[in-house]
């Protein structure tokens, strides 16, 4: 069982609000990822990080931003949430010595 945590698990907010989704892992993994997933659909990579102070955009264009100031922490921020941002956001991490990504429980975001 991987030690990767996401908060909040569920979030319902109004349009225009700024939100930050938290992701933390206690495994010392240097590589971290954010995916967006609609119910029952495939996962789409929106951001990833090789390590501290490293962030890259993923395959799916996203209006969100990320930061990586500490190894264990990889927060995702939406400056102005819109209904189109309603989705599940999954965080994952891996160590450089393996290709297996371990996922957190996800944050289900609903923007009204």
Partner 1 sequence: GESVGLHLPTLSVQEGDNSIINCAYSNSASDYFIWYKQESGKGPQFIIDIRSNMDKRQGQRVTVLLNKTVKHLSLQIAATQPGDSAVYFCAEGPIKAAGNKLTFGGGTRVLVKP
Residues that bind partner 1 (CB under 8 A): 2, 6, 31, 33, 35, 40-45, 48, 50, 56, 58-59, 90, 92, 94, 99-106, 108
Q: Output the smallest distance, CB 80 to partner 1, in A.
A: 26
Q: Output the smallest distance, CB 25 to partner 1, in A.
A: 12
Q: Output the smallest distance, CB 78 to partner 1, in A.
A: 20
Token digits of residue 34 = 């954010």
Strand partners, 47: 34, 57
On the 0-12 / 13-18 / 19+ scale of CB atoms within 10 A, 45 is middle
Q: Which is nearer to partner 1, 14 or 40 (CB)?
A: 40
Q: Which is nearer to partner 1, 85 or 94 (CB)?
A: 94
Q: Which is nearer to partner 1, 16 or 51 (CB)?
A: 51
Cα 100 to Cα 64: distance, rounded to the nearest angstrom: 25
Q: In the block, which residue shows the tokens 């962030």?
A: 55
Q: For the range 55-59, what are the long-range contacts, defined as Cβ-Cβ under 8 Å and sequence gap of 24 or more?
A: 58/33, 58/34
Q: Which is nearer to partner 1, 42 or 53 (CB)?
A: 42
């Amino acid at each position: 069982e991987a030690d990767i945590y996401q908060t909040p698990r569920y979030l319902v907010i109004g349009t225009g609000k700024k939100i930050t989704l938290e992701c933390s892992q206690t495994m010392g993994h240097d590589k971290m990822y954010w995916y967006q997933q609609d119910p029952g659909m495939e996962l789409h990579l929106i951001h990833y990080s090789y390590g501290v102070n490293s962030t890259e955009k993923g395959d799916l264009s996203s209006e969100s931003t990320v930061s990586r100031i500490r190894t264990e922490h990889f927060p995702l921020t939406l400056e102005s949430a819109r209904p189109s941002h309603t989705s599940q956001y999954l965080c994952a991490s891996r160590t450089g010595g393996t290709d297996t990504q371990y996922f957190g429980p996800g944050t289900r975001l609903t923007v009204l």
